[in-house]
Structure 1
Amino acid sequence: MKIDARATSATLQAPGALRAIILHGDDAGLIRERATTAARAICPDLNDPFRVAVLGRDEHDRLEEEVTALSLVGGRRVIWVRDAGDGLLAPLQRSLAQTSDTLVIVEAAGLPARARLRAFAEKDRLCGVIGCYPEEGRALEGAIRQMLSAQNVSIDPDALGWMVERAGPDRAATRSEVEKLALFAGAGGRLGLEDVRACVGDAAGVSLEDAAFAAMAGDRKAADAAAERALTTDGSSPIALARALLSHIHRLRRARIAVDGGMSRADAMRQLRPPVFFKRTDSFTQALGHWSAAALLRAAEETQALELACKQTGSPDIVLCLRHVARLCAQAQQDRRRR
Structure 2
Amino acid sequence: MAQKKASEVDAFLARPDFAFSLVVFYGPDTGLVAERAGKLAQAFGVDPSDPFAAVTLAADDLEKDIGRLYDEAKTLSLLGGKRLVRVRGAGAGRALCDAVGELAAEHLPDTLIIVEAGDLKKNAGLRLNVERGRHGMALPCYQDEGRALDQMIDEELTAAGLTMDRDARDALRARLGADRIASRGEVKKLCLYALGTPTVTEADVVAIVGDVSADALEEAIDAAAAGAVKRLPHLIDRLTTAGTATFQLHQALLRYFQQLQALREGVERRGEPVARAVERRRPHFRRRAALEAALNAWTLEAIDARLQTIEADILASRKDAHLALAITHRTLIDTAVTAAQLRARRS
Query: If the length of structure 2 is used for normalisation, what is the TM-score?
Result: 0.58
- Give a deviation string over 1:220-274, Cα, whole Å, max 9, x none: xxxxxxxxxxxxxxxxxxx98xx755599xxxxxxxxxxxxxxxxxxxxxxxxxx
Aligned equivalent of 2:22: 20
* SS in structure 1 of the partner of residue 121 of structure 2: coil
Distance 1:25 1:203 in 2: 18
Distance 1:41 1:160 in 2: 30
Matching residue within 65, 78, 92 for 2:84: 78
- Give a deviation string over 1:120-174, Cα, whole Å, max 9, x none: 2223331111111112233322322223323433222211111112214211110
Matching residue within 98, 104, 119 for 1:90: 98
The answer (yes or no) to whether the contact 2:149–2:177 under 8 Å persists in 1 is no
Alpha carbons of 1:100 and 1:44: their partners in 2 closer, same or farther (altered >3 Å)?
A: closer
Q: Which residue identity does 1:70 align to in structure 2?
A: L
> Taking every aligned residue pair, what percent have the same amino acid on both sides?
35
Instruction: Output the aligned Cα RMSD.
Output: 3.4
Matched, 1:11 2:8: no
Distance 1:203 1:130 in 2: 25
Matched, 1:62 2:68: yes
Alpha carbons of 1:121 and 1:170: their partners in 2 closer, same or farther (altered >3 Å)?
A: same
Distance 1:93 1:301 in 2: 37
Distance 2:157 2:321 in 1: 35
The answer (yes or no) to whether the contact 2:46–2:83 under 8 Å persists in 1 is no
Matched, 1:164 2:173: yes
Q: Which residue identity does 2:166 align to in structure 1?
A: P
* SS in structure 2 of the partner of residue 313 of structure 1: helix
Matched, 1:115 2:124: yes
> Unaligned stretches of 5+ in structure 1?
209-238, 249-296, 315-339
Deviates more, 1:1-10 or 1:19-28: 1-10
Distance 1:137 1:6 in 2: 12
- Give a deviation string over 1:188-238, Cα, whole Å, max 9, x none: 8431111111111239949x9xxxxxxxxxxxxxxxxxxxxxxxxxxxxxx
Matching residue within 305, 310, 313 for 2:335: 313
* CA positional deviation for 1:114: 0.7
* CA positional deviation for 1:185: 2.2
Distance 2:11 2:29 in 1: 20
Deviates more, 1:305-314 or 1:66-75: 305-314
Query: If the length of structure 1 is used for normalisation, what is the TM-score?
Result: 0.59
The answer (yes or no) to whether the contact 2:164–2:199 under 8 Å persists in 1 is yes
Aligned equivalent of 2:33: 31
> Unaligned stretches of 5+ in structure 2?
218-235, 249-317, 337-347
Distance 1:203 1:34 in 2: 20
Q: Which residue identity does 1:202 align to in structure 2?
A: D
Q: Which residue identity does 2:100 align to in structure 1?
A: L
Q: Which residue identity does 1:135 align to in structure 2?
A: D
